[in-house]
Copies of this chain bind each other. A is one copy, B any other.
Amino acid sequence: MPTVSFRISAKKTIDVKVETGERLMDIARNSGIYIDAPCSGNGTCGKCRVQILSGDTESHPCRHITDEDYAAGWRLACETRVIGDVTVLVPEPASAFRTGIRTADLNDPTVRAAFDDVQRDLREAGVMDDPTIFTCELTMDPPTLEDTLCDCDRIERAVRAETGMEARVTLYTLRKLARVLRDNDFHVRCVLARDGDGVRIVDVGSMKSKKKICGLAIDIGTTTVTAALVDMETGELLVKASAGNSQIRYGADVINRIIESSREGGRERLRRAVVEDTIVPLVGTLCRKARVYQKQIYRVCIAGNTTMSHLLLGLYADPVRMEPFIPSFFQCHELRLADVLPELHPEAGLILTPNVGSYVGGDITSGLLASTLWNRDELALFIDLGTNGEIVLGNSEFLFTCACSAGPAFEGGDISCGMRATNGAIEEVKIDKETMDPTLTVIGPEGQKPIGLCGSGIIDTVAELFRGGIISAKGKFAREGRRVKYDEHGMGRYVLAFADESDDGREISVNEVDLDNFIRAKGAIFSAILLMLRQLGMEPEDLSHIQIAGGIGGGIDFPNAITIGIFPDLPLEKFSYIGNSSLSGAYAILLSRQAEEKVRELSSAMTYVELSNEPGYMDEFVSACFLPHTNRELFPSVEV
């Protein structure tokens, strides 16, 4: 059996015994070695580059690898089979999908403001007044030979007297109850979780205990998972963190993930990737930061798209991607956290925000809740620019929703130098019209050099290139200069940072393939907006408001977004950026039963429109694949 030595870093080499003929990609996956593969190993994305330092492999030249690189041993791991002993250099994971955990700076002004605004709007909408978890202090008479009520009935009676609600002791509480009551002379503090008309006594402890009672809101994005640890008594956000979704190694988009999940053992692989490799370490980081134990988390609310929620629960997801696109569930009522995240408190409640269809999931219902669009009479639009874009059009009377296959461009995927909005991501770009030199704003500490481009940086770049005449309306390069380069096939690219200007010594640029991907993504969004409006006999002018959500970086530059035709050409005051609305909604549902009821109500009220069934959709899409649009009359304010 040949041995493959994977050189992960200067310090780390992993040796694996393999069968002759095995694919490097499969070997790496089975050995827990991370190689980026947005296309799930189909040979189409070209991201799984590795360098064969020595040994025999079977492979062939392809369009993703230049002749020069091929000669130097660079191969795609998904197209390379092992013949004999091999030493393989695994480069740093493609910067697009670094999976390190980033604890958010809660003072990040744009994100924080968006988050606070959402919570204020929800309070004003009257859905934050019914807490899900609370504590109560009890003083009971100790039992005597005359008063022989058992401990369980005694504390239930005391809680009933204190709260006026029926109470039930949980097994976790029962296991410690006798000791805690007697160690504290029957004066205790207990943690209560609302359940139906009553409460469950989920924990009991000393009156002196100052232990925080926590909850956890999680947004499981296809690309990024973000979690917030919350003080359930004050509603305070204690700490927030995000990490790449480790499922990314099985594909960048939901389709590739589903395909992988339907292979032998795939459901369990995908489930573990998001639970054990992503959420568990993320929660560990949050708890360390906030100095709380995981057992102090008494309720969890998770929002994710339909595929993410299916893979999280270990469900068959194949029907989600195959006509007629039927998910296993919209709402799940019988969930126990212990079955999904057994590491946390065994009695903690788990809420998954409801799905509406195969491509409008719990992230959108949660985000819609956060938008409070449902609380206003005027027609408005809610758009989530995540991996794919989802749109809700409506008001307090009706709600229409659709998904458009925009791909992950707005989250930094599908773009050669794209990355998540984390340290090293370029989030703002200005380009001098004369010199064509860029001015970059990079996420991270003072002096942080750039690593790649996040969503907001991509929008700025495309807009500035277009505005400066550096690219045409079709996304082709039209000028020459120090920062505009062409490869041997004549493909142009714009260099935002030369190798010596970047953090990792690799050039950061945007090429014509990136531009093409981006323009098709924005075309999908715009044509979906137009189609949804016109189905109701309306035009963009009828919109009172457009709310944009998504983890695209430090906000969005709306003039730029309009310039390149992502959104309709409306007055700027009609736009607002509400940040990660999926997480904001989950945060609200975590804290409030009314919010939970509201999100269930909203999901039932939403009408799902399958765009691909609509006549004229393809034409609209093709027309929108221009900067800003084939029909310039739609963009009177754009002067490029």
Contact = CB atoms under 8 A, between A and B. Distances in A.
Interface in A298-342: 313-319, 323-336, 338-339
Please provide the 4 A-B residue pairs with the shortest distance between their CB atoms, ordered closest to farther. A152-B329, A178-B316, A143-B326, A145-B324
A511 to B, nearest CB: 38
A255 interface: no
A179 interface: yes
Given A151-B319, A152-B328, A336-B336, 14 more contacts: A143-B326, A149-B326, A150-B327, A150-B355, A152-B329, A152-B331, A169-B334, A171-B332, A174-B329, A175-B314, A177-B316, A178-B318, A178-B319, A200-B334
A56 to B, nearest CB: 41
A151 B325 CA distance: 11
Contact of A151 (B150, B326, B331, B336): B326
Nearest to A173: B334
Contacts of A149: 326
A145 B143 CA distance: 64
A632 interface: no
A148 interface: yes
A144 interface: yes
23 contacts: A145-B323, A145-B613, A148-B325, A148-B326, A148-B608, A150-B330, A151-B327, A151-B328, A152-B330, A152-B332, A168-B333, A169-B329, A170-B334, A171-B332, A171-B335, A171-B336, A174-B332, A176-B316, A178-B317, A178-B326, A179-B316, A200-B334, A338-B338
Interface string A508-548: 00000000000000000000000000000000000000000
Interface in A197-243: 200
B171 A324 contact: no
Contacts of A468: none
A541 to B, nearest CB: 32
Contacts of A178: 315-319, 326, 328
The number of times this chain is found in the oligomer is 2
A314 B178 CA distance: 12
A182 interface: yes
A153 interface: yes
B332 A339 contact: no
A408 interface: no
A179 to B, nearest CB: 5
A450 interface: no
Interface in A24-45: none
Nearest to A170: B334
A608 to B, nearest CB: 7
B174 A313 contact: yes
A313 B319 CA distance: 41
Nearest to A151: B328
Contact of A610 (B145, B323, B334): B145
A323 to B, nearest CB: 7
Contacts of A469: none
Contacts of A335: 171
Interface of A: 143-145, 147-153, 168-171, 174-179, 182, 200, 313-319, 323-336, 338-339, 346, 355, 357, 608, 610, 613
Contacts of A170: 334
A101 to B, nearest CB: 28
Contact of A328 (B150, B316, B327, B330): B150
A160 to B, nearest CB: 14
B174 A328 contact: yes
Contact of A357 (B148, B152, B176): B148
Contacts of A608: 148
Contacts of A334: 168-171, 200
Nearest to A178: B316
Contacts of A613: 145
Contacts of A153: 329-330
A329 B150 CA distance: 5
Given A169-B329, A324-B148, A329-B150, A175 B357 contact: no
Nearest to A324: B145
B151 A329 contact: yes
Residue from A152, A330, A333 with most neighbouring chain B CB atoms (10 Å): A152
Nearest to A146: B324
A143 B328 CA distance: 12
A355 B150 CA distance: 10
A169 B324 CA distance: 22
A147 B325 CA distance: 10
Contacts of A152: 328-332
Nearest to A172: B339
Contacts of A182: 319
Contacts of A316: 175-179
Contacts of A145: 323-324, 610, 613
